[in-house]
Amino acid sequence: MTVVLVHGNPESDAVWGPLVAALGELGRDDVVCLSPPGFGAPLPEGFGATVTEYRDWLIAELEKFDAPVDLVGHDWGGGHVVNVAMARPDLLRSWATDVIGLFDPEYVWHDLAQVWVQPGAGEELVDTMMGGSLSERAERLVGLGFSPEVAEPVAAAQGPEMGRAILALYRSAPRAVLDQFAEGLPEAAKTPGLALSATEDHFVGADAIRRRAAARAGAQFEELEGLGHWWMVQDPAKGAEVLTRFWASIS
């Protein structure tokens, strides 16, 4: 069974490197990393980088596999995963996300996102984030909790194109749009799901919000104690253990 990993913002698939290695040590070497357009992959002409377009992009990618997959998403990748689980459960053996709280009506976008959606201020912030030298961008990522080995290849994927994708994606997903998606959250229960909850992740809502959304989606709930938003870099062995245990439970 193939494992498919989908990352988010402001990343490339290099963010999965430590987890892929840890999964390999546990015998899961059938892993594919998919890069959303603009985030380590080119933005196709005519692609608007909206939340719906990213869902449809992921569906199209998963349709290329011969059998349902174990799909895992991080950050916005986790949002795309949940949207696919609601729309096309037939493509999945299981799904896992670390941003299930986005789909609760009480979730409020974090401070950075609230700037990105503002005309002018969003462009200014993105230019700062995506600008500077490779070493400067990598240093900023290390400050967020990346290891230097992961920070450099992720920083290499950053630039104006990723900046455009960031702005378009967040501006396409105000609370009202997320609420429309969230109405279908019980549909995700058609496929076994896992809500990963890193206790020190301050981007994805309070614990109660995460648990409530996970329950509506029929997903198992697993805390990653002491880990933050980039848990797959901080403690990949723990992440691999939790995921393989979940997959074993549905074999």
Q: What is the DSSP letter of 134?
A: H
Q: Which residues contact 105 (CB under 8 A, 6 or more apart)?
A: 175, 179, 182
DSSP 8-state symbol, 100: G
Q: How confident is the model at residue 199 (pLDDT cuts 50, 70, 90)?
A: very high
How many CA atoms, within 13 angstroms, populate the side-chain half-sphere of residue 164?
Answer: 12
Q: What is the pLDDT of residue 8?
A: 97
Say what the pLDDT of residue 144 is: 87
Taking residues 79-107, what's their average pLDDT?
Answer: 97
- Per residue in 126-183, pLDDT (tens digit) is 999 999 999 999 999 999 889 999 999 999 999 999 999 999 999 999 999 999 999 9
pLDDT at position 122, please?
97
The per-residue pLDDT for 65 is 98
Per-domain residue ranges for the chain? 3-108+175-249
204 and 210 Cβ atoms separated by less than 8 Å: yes
Average pLDDT, the chain: 96
Helices in 145-182 by DSSP H: which ranges? 148-156, 160-171, 175-182
Give CA torsion, residues 186, 192, 197, 198, to 10 deg: -150
Report the CATH number of the 3-108+175-249 domain: 3.40.50.1820
Residue 1 has pLDDT above 90, yes or no: no
